[in-house]
Structure 1
């Protein structure tokens, strides 16, 4: 394919014609068309070109919108951390209270943990590391991938930088040399690339583990409160009621109930008002002196008295910050400012008062620690509090389930998860998805955990490990971003590591101590998910490299397409693959067995960019396969890791429309230089001004006729019918491969592929117009 082919521009036919005539007539003929020319990287590695970084611009919403979003965020973001008061003291003092001042030590730990992690780390620092408004582990990884070439699949293109959300805002300070050196080391180290992807997979696995454990512990804790109303409510009945609620919760997911999260804000607001108000009431009634817990000396005294037991109890205290990662992960639904406002004005004060009030109550009732929450509720408010607690736990569970669907969707974009169908459940709210297979697996896992553990103590041990692991990974990515992208002062980075990093490592060591008391559960989930992700991603990369090594050159394609024994059928054919550079080898396999080609053929490459979303206007990148008479085109369809590729987006119609635009633009941008050159030569001849205008008009008319003719060929092909040709690759280990590779490819990967959805179901390609082309790859 020639290097001087021009990519698609978004101009319309009319604007191109007006542009061309103005340039010719006004005499400013030598500049504008050159500015529109770009590099062609469908055949060439983009790493050979300089990748500029610029500053993206985003409109700032008004304060009325920010406040509205802040209110809505309360119902989506804080359900998990908001329900933590149900079980924190019971999990921390699992063996009872040994000394009354231990309550002050634990309250002090809770207060400073809430202040340091959710408030300072996430609200003030981590939220700044959003990816064009999107958050979570993938947002951090995508920022690093866009700054440095650390992706393991060589599909980067220089044109990616032209996508509006791709460029980073980079400070210009004296730390540039340090950042550049770190970037070079990452790009030159294969181990570093693997480690970054591995860490992202671990974070993903742990968040999915949260999606299993949050419904279990939240619903079980809330339903357990009914024991205060009747002694007939045994543990077995509580477990049964919890299981019924969980099953119903998962069964209604297909109706897109995550959109209801926006209407849950009033319920969570009532919840925060109740726990905050009851906290103030208990603080005044029982023991206002617990305010002494603001003195961190009580933490030191607590550890001096209890030694190892105090360190072990940190696994219960860390449950006070469960769901904090949702602050960052859900920022894409709102704005940074709105989440900062809702956290600082509603969530943080309510939680501090809730834990303070419970501590004051426990100072007078040491023996009631197993049921602290409901025992501390005034009798008149018991039933309203019970109902709101159950609703809040369901909302918390709903948020984590929806978050699990979103993060698996992001894993698909990186080629790290088997292809499953992603259903977009809302046309109004972005990012709300449902994955049928994952939903049923989560339901079975939740029911099994609830029935197996029966109480919140062991589930809390498991929950703590998942929470702290994700937080520690977030800190690790954040330090890398501080050094390499933000170019933060090294002293501030060291201060972050010594304070927040140290605290998180201490908590991590504590929760890992309870490995045999339920802590093994999230690690087992993570190990299973990591195995699935590793198998799929490894073979995915091997397939890509195979196609890259065996791609069809432009000259070979021309020879095949111009053979006289080939028949050109009326219609448009779309040939799908994931290879960005070149024509996939499966096409040669197709033409060797079917000596016929459609009148128009488009090779469509599906590509994921390390950004959240790609607008439909920037979705497609086209190239023409020379010579023009072949009517063959290359197309790269670009998606972000939060884009949904299904029936909600009219893929076929949008591709054809953009292809027409490309045909028009390609003609104008490749022929205008010649017209300008001829026009300038005429300008140099005296008395030729009228001839200049006349010849320019003739050239433009001829050009317009050629454009109309090519567009008509495409329209005629579309009317004759569109056929979707799917490359269905069977992969096997090549002859002589080792035992490990044979197990990986022949058994593990093919088992996953055969038991999950195929690409036609993922992309909702109509079966009546689909043709699968099979080929075996020996990897």
Structure 2
């Protein structure tokens, strides 16, 4: 690869902000710096999406601590001291100031950290091909490679570390998804408890009369908060289809009012009840708590942990917004308001624990004239508080899909400006069902809080482990700095994890059930995908077999283009050789298309397609490798076919200048759209709309007429009106002496084949376990087959027209 290509790749990476300093503005997807207006707009939206969970944590932090643990007036000081330093160290220092810097071209989450490690150390276990990496690798100085190899040597040497890192990435992703299940349940149920306490102060007869007259108000009965929580959760999940952008504008005002309300009430409680509560910021109170620790008080730390619930979503939701907006919001708004709110509640508890029956609940600390306003606000805020976990789950699943660690589901990009904003309907309804089952099954804030706390701290521990490796491998810092990060933050999170383990039998066991469910899906799908890929590699045939087979049986070439989708990038896939053996005919132009995920969020459009010719020029057979990142929209673009044909046209026109490619070496790839020797891109094929096609080409109007027939329709074939078969057509540029005649002839054949029609040939795998396999392997394969049958079909994911689809069944014995 030329040095100019390497430089352009490096510049592309810098343009996405991977090497930006903490004080730099993030670069948007378009490569332009954010304006203050844009930052302010995103900061406002983060209130409703990113910080909803963190902002509503005061609803249940003190409320999940058993009342008997408040044994003295000093206990609220000690708990507040833990809250203050936990939010400061974990939410502010770790995530806002350190972890957010380690974004992967604007994307966050555990898989973003894993992809950074895969690119800078040979630890990836996902299927990839060395030739694609060699074609687009970055040129690095020998001294830099030598220095970095010392930090990577331990990781690259042991195969066990590769599996461990993949498991950590999957486990961390699983914890974020679990948080998306548990957070709506605990947030909404906590607010419903507040409704119950508020309504209990109203005359009970009024509530009963409403129930007798209007049964629809039965969820408002003080003794039944669960139905109201379920109704709110259903409404929340139904709003997800409108996208993060619209939801952010809808939810941000609610969180803004909520923060102003709890901040104002907190300040009032501090001044009215106990101004000395501010002394709790001293670490001496934490020391006093640890000195008198016992089994019951240690369990209370599992509830204190909930004060940082939603911190992981700051990093996981990074693709929906920007680092600048997330940092500004937490420093200027979230952090100070939450501390005032917790301090106000602690001040109330310190003076009312013998007076008020339920003194540790947030609703009890509300002044009398604000009690009913709190009920309304808490219901809305609790619904919004779940948004961060839900959108983080969408982002994580989108990354898992691209790296073949989750069954195929349909991803809808809800914003054209911010590529990370996605909606996954299948996952949304699954989260809703599981969240409702948690609410109905456990129906108490305490047990759900224990499970939520364990999910939060487990995900944070994974982030700490991967982040320490990023510091040494990607940031190229010393191992001492990496170890200090791991020990400092890891010790704090391990302390909270131990407290959660004490609460395992009280509700944290449900987290294990959810983790087993999602980890089984991820690991089984990864295992089945790898085995299927290995089977294709072992059973592929060489291209010489195809030419020799054709010479003996006389394979027919039919008009049109045939797209053969395969995972392998050399040779002929087994399902296509099976197809040829039974039906010796294929299209005038064949294009073998392979999708190759890359451990990065986005692949630049001018470096996405790798093109090669298969066999002699007369065969008109090409190979196209489509490189895509885990946030790219390559598979769901309507003009995907046009992009491939246009790239092949550029490859053909530039091929005559590159004499090395005349050898047609298998596996030798060229970047589609690569500039010519004169520095300008070659426009071999000119795309035009159908409305322009009549005036721009020499085709007759009859060629734009076609017979349309839809299977299953009561109407037969119709020829009454012309049907435009393609959104975009291609024509050749005006004749130029620079273009050789044989090149123009090949391009004309490509255009003619496109006009004749397109067929898509896919392999339909039927996987069975090899005879003699053990029970565990047969069980894994059975689960994989079950997931495969219930996931989205490849034609749906690739937007393939049903009438143009040809599926070839193959039995895969693994």
- Interval containing the TM-score (normalised by the shorter chain): 0.7 to 0.9
Contact (CA 8 Å) 1:577, 1:605: kept in 2 or not?
Answer: yes
DSSP 3-state at the match of 1:572: strand
Find the aligned partners of 1:515 and 1:642 in 2 and give their Cα distance: 36
Find the aligned partners of 1:282 and 1:370 in 2 and give their Cα distance: 13
| Structure 2 equivalent of residue 292 of structure 1 | 279
Which stretch of structure 1 is more off in the superposition, 138-147 or 326-335? 326-335
Find the aligned partners of 2:114 and 2:484 in 1 and give their Cα distance: 23
| Structure 1 equivalent of residue 543 of structure 2 | 554
Select which of 724, 729, 750 maps to 2:760. 724
| Structure 1 equivalent of residue 729 of structure 2 | none
| Structure 2 equivalent of residue 774 of structure 1 | 809
List runs of 5+ in structure 2 lacking aligned partners: 18-26, 28-32, 205-219, 664-734
Contact (CA 8 Å) 2:176, 2:459: kept in 1 or not?
Answer: yes
1:559 deviates by: 2.8
Which stretch of structure 1 is more off in the superposition, 360-369 or 230-239? 230-239
Find the aligned partners of 1:278 and 1:172 in 2 and give their Cα distance: 59
Select which of 123, 126, 130 maps to 1:150. 123
1:477 deviates by: 0.2
1:307 deviates by: 2.6
Which runs of structure 2 are paired with 1:117-156 in the superposition (5 Å)? Answer: 117-156=90-129
Contact (CA 8 Å) 2:121, 2:473: kept in 1 or not?
Answer: no
Determine if the alignment matches structure 1 residue 345 to structure 2 residue 371.
Answer: no
RMSD after superposition: 2.8
Select which of 773, 776, 783 maps to 1:737. 773
Contact (CA 8 Å) 1:105, 1:302: kept in 2 or not?
Answer: yes
DSSP 3-state at the match of 2:601: coil
DSSP 3-state at the match of 1:229: helix
Which stretch of structure 1 is more off in the superposition, 335-344 or 461-470? 335-344
List runs of 5+ in structure 1 lacking aligned partners: 1-5, 7-33, 39-50, 675-698
Contact (CA 8 Å) 1:55, 1:169: kept in 2 or not?
Answer: no
| Structure 2 equivalent of residue 391 of structure 1 | 380
Select which of 552, 565, 574 maps to 2:554. 565
Find the aligned partners of 2:461 and 2:655 in 1 and give their Cα distance: 50
| Structure 2 equivalent of residue 206 of structure 1 | 175
Which runs of structure 2 are paired with 1:415-430 in the superposition (5 Å)? Answer: 415-430=404-419
| Structure 2 equivalent of residue 106 of structure 1 | 79
| Structure 2 equivalent of residue 445 of structure 1 | 434
DSSP 3-state at the match of 1:412: helix
Q: Deviations over 1:367-403 (max 9, x none)?
A: 5455531122223333333323222222222332222
Find the aligned partners of 1:535 and 1:342 in 2 and give their Cα distance: 40
Which stretch of structure 1 is more off in the superposition, 433-442 or 114-123? 433-442
After superposition, the Cα gap between the structure-2 partners of 1:345 and 1:170, relative to the gap in structure 1 and judged at 3 Å, is farther
Contact (CA 8 Å) 2:95, 2:314: kept in 1 or not?
Answer: yes
Which runs of structure 2 are paired with 1:583-602 in the superposition (5 Å)? Answer: 583-602=572-591
Find the aligned partners of 1:132 and 1:452 in 2 and give their Cα distance: 41
Which stretch of structure 1 is more off in the superposition, 426-435 or 354-363? 426-435
Find the aligned partners of 2:349 and 2:10 in 1 and give their Cα distance: 60
Select which of 10, 34, 39 maps to 1:66. 39
1:666 deviates by: 2.3
1:506 deviates by: 0.4
1:195 deviates by: 0.9
Select which of 688, 696, 704 maps to 2:740. 704
Select which of 613, 633, 638 maps to 2:627. 638
After superposition, the Cα gap between the structure-2 partners of 1:581 and 1:95, relative to the gap in structure 1 and judged at 3 Å, is farther
| Structure 1 equivalent of residue 476 of structure 2 | 487
Find the aligned partners of 2:221 and 2:251 in 1 and give their Cα distance: 30
Find the aligned partners of 1:655 and 1:381 in 2 and give their Cα distance: 63
| Structure 1 equivalent of residue 686 of structure 2 | none
Structure 2 length-normalised TM: 0.82
1:419 deviates by: 1.7
| Structure 1 equivalent of residue 490 of structure 2 | 501
After superposition, the Cα gap between the structure-2 partners of 1:370 and 1:760, relative to the gap in structure 1 and judged at 3 Å, is farther
| Structure 1 equivalent of residue 14 of structure 2 | 56
After superposition, the Cα gap between the structure-2 partners of 1:431 and 1:371, relative to the gap in structure 1 and judged at 3 Å, is same
Contact (CA 8 Å) 1:472, 1:501: kept in 2 or not?
Answer: yes
DSSP 3-state at the match of 1:131: coil
DSSP 3-state at the match of 2:562: strand
| Structure 1 equivalent of residue 296 of structure 2 | 309
1:365 deviates by: 1.1
| Structure 2 equivalent of residue 9 of structure 1 | none
After superposition, the Cα gap between the structure-2 partners of 1:495 and 1:99, relative to the gap in structure 1 and judged at 3 Å, is same
Contact (CA 8 Å) 2:183, 2:386: kept in 1 or not?
Answer: yes
1:258 deviates by: 6.1
Which runs of structure 2 are paired with 1:509-588 in the superposition (5 Å)? Answer: 509-562=498-551, 565-588=554-577
Find the aligned partners of 1:134 and 1:168 in 2 and give their Cα distance: 24
Select which of 797, 800, 809 maps to 1:762. 797
| Structure 1 equivalent of residue 259 of structure 2 | 272
Q: Deviations over 1:167-218 (max 9, x none)?
A: 6999988xx7674134233223221111111111111111111010010011
Contact (CA 8 Å) 1:145, 1:610: kept in 2 or not?
Answer: yes
Select which of 449, 468, 476 maps to 1:460. 449
DSSP 3-state at the match of 2:361: helix
Counting helix residues as a fraction of each chain, which structure ranks higher? 1
Find the aligned partners of 2:39 and 2:140 in 1 and give their Cα distance: 23
Which stretch of structure 1 is more off in the superposition, 383-392 or 413-422? 383-392
Find the aligned partners of 1:764 and 1:570 in 2 and give their Cα distance: 22
DSSP 3-state at the match of 2:224: helix
Which runs of structure 2 are paired with 1:31-42 in the superposition (5 Å)? Answer: none
Q: Deviations over 1:632-676 (max 9, x none)?
A: 1111112211224554442222222222222222233339999xx
Which stretch of structure 1 is more off in the superposition, 493-502 or 226-235? 226-235
After superposition, the Cα gap between the structure-2 partners of 1:35 and 1:186, relative to the gap in structure 1 and judged at 3 Å, is closer
Find the aligned partners of 2:13 and 2:765 in 1 and give their Cα distance: 41
DSSP 3-state at the match of 1:751: helix
Find the aligned partners of 2:64 and 2:306 in 1 and give their Cα distance: 8
After superposition, the Cα gap between the structure-2 partners of 1:490 and 1:742, relative to the gap in structure 1 and judged at 3 Å, is closer
Find the aligned partners of 1:329 and 1:561 in 2 and give their Cα distance: 52
DSSP 3-state at the match of 1:95: helix
Find the aligned partners of 1:706 and 1:761 in 2 and give their Cα distance: 38
Find the aligned partners of 1:672 and 1:237 in 2 and give their Cα distance: 74
Determine if the alignment matches structure 1 residue 238 to structure 2 residue 225.
Answer: yes
Determine if the alignment matches structure 1 residue 216 to structure 2 residue 185.
Answer: yes
Find the aligned partners of 1:54 and 1:171 in 2 and give their Cα distance: 22
| Structure 2 equivalent of residue 748 of structure 1 | 783
Structure 1 length-normalised TM: 0.85
Find the aligned partners of 1:526 and 1:170 in 2 and give their Cα distance: 43
